Structure 1
Amino acid sequence: MHTPITLISERNRTFRHRIEVESVEALYADAPKVLGGEGQDPDPHDYFDMALGSCKAITVQMYAKRKEWPLEAITVTIARDDSKEREGAYGLDVRLDFQGPLDDAMKQKLLDISSRCPVQRLMTEATVTIETRLASATDASSQ
């Protein structure tokens, strides 16, 4: 099991939270201004989308490195369509831009590999269970 990620409300901030991840500098999340947040930090949907983009980029880079292909860099751009989220539809349009002297067959293979990243599989194939409960008094005293 991984070390837990902790979110802590920022005092005097409406919806802003500090996110603590082991050995990572400060991360924050906030609600968009339209929902009453300050809009200075990524919102939870942004982090969801970023998880997919970063996973695709890392998966592609690892594959290219293992194959010793000349992938110099990758840019991942994600456009979100959440207009039907309340009806259960959430769309992500992901564009990959590979830099380096890659031929078309290499680019196509890297595109295919990007669809196999673990986060995309979690988002599209896995059954995710979530148990939400109140922290007990013993949990609070151990922090």
Structure 2
Amino acid sequence: MRTPITLISERNSAFRQRIEVESVEALYADAPKVLGGEGHDPDPHDYFDMALASCKAITVQMYAKRKQWPLEAISVTVARDDRKEREGEYSLEVHLAFDGPLSDEQRERLLEISGRCPIQRLMTEATVTINTRPSADAAQ
């Protein structure tokens, strides 16, 4: 099992949270301004979307490296449509831009491979179980 991620509420901010992840110096989350947050940090939905973008980029880079293809860089843009989230629909449109002297076939294959990233599979194919309970050291 991986080292847990710990989130600690920032006492001087309305909704800002400090996130502790192994080997990461500083990471924060906040509610959007429209919901009372300060808007200086990504909100939880941003982190969800970032997980997909970074996973797609890493998956493509690993594949290209293994194949020794001339992928020099990748840019991933994720556009969120959450207007129907309350009805159970959350839509992400992902655009990939590959830099490097790749053939059309290589670009098409990298696009296909991006759809196999573990986070996309987790978001679209897995049954996720979440068990929430009080910590043993929680203040009473």
Mapped partners of 2:11, 2:85: distance in 1: 30
Residue 56 of structure 2 corresponds to which residue in structure 1? 56
RMSD over aligned CA atoms reads 0.9
Runs of 4+ in 1 over 2 A off after TM superposition: none
Identity %: 78
TM-score scaled by length of structure 2: 0.97
- The alpha-carbon deviation at position 31 of structure 1 amounts to 0.1
The answer to whether residue 12 in structure 2 is matched with residue 12 in structure 1 is yes
Mapped partners of 1:121, 1:58: distance in 2: 14
- The alpha-carbon deviation at position 11 of structure 1 amounts to 1.3
Residue 98 of structure 1 corresponds to which residue in structure 2? 98
- The alpha-carbon deviation at position 55 of structure 1 amounts to 0.1
Residue 29 of structure 2 corresponds to which residue in structure 1? 29
Residue 111 of structure 1 corresponds to which residue in structure 2? 111
- What secondary structure does 1:97 align onto? strand
- The alpha-carbon deviation at position 25 of structure 1 amounts to 1.2
Residue 85 of structure 1 corresponds to which residue in structure 2? 85
Give structure 2 stretches of 5+ with no counterpart: none
Mapped partners of 2:16, 2:3: distance in 1: 22
- The alpha-carbon deviation at position 136 of structure 1 amounts to 1.5
- The alpha-carbon deviation at position 131 of structure 1 amounts to 0.1
The answer to whether residue 122 in structure 2 is matched with residue 122 in structure 1 is yes
The answer to whether residue 134 in structure 2 is matched with residue 134 in structure 1 is yes
Mapped partners of 1:33, 1:73: distance in 2: 33
- The alpha-carbon deviation at position 52 of structure 1 amounts to 0.2
Equivalent residues, number: 139
TM-score scaled by length of structure 1: 0.95
Mapped partners of 1:47, 1:54: distance in 2: 10
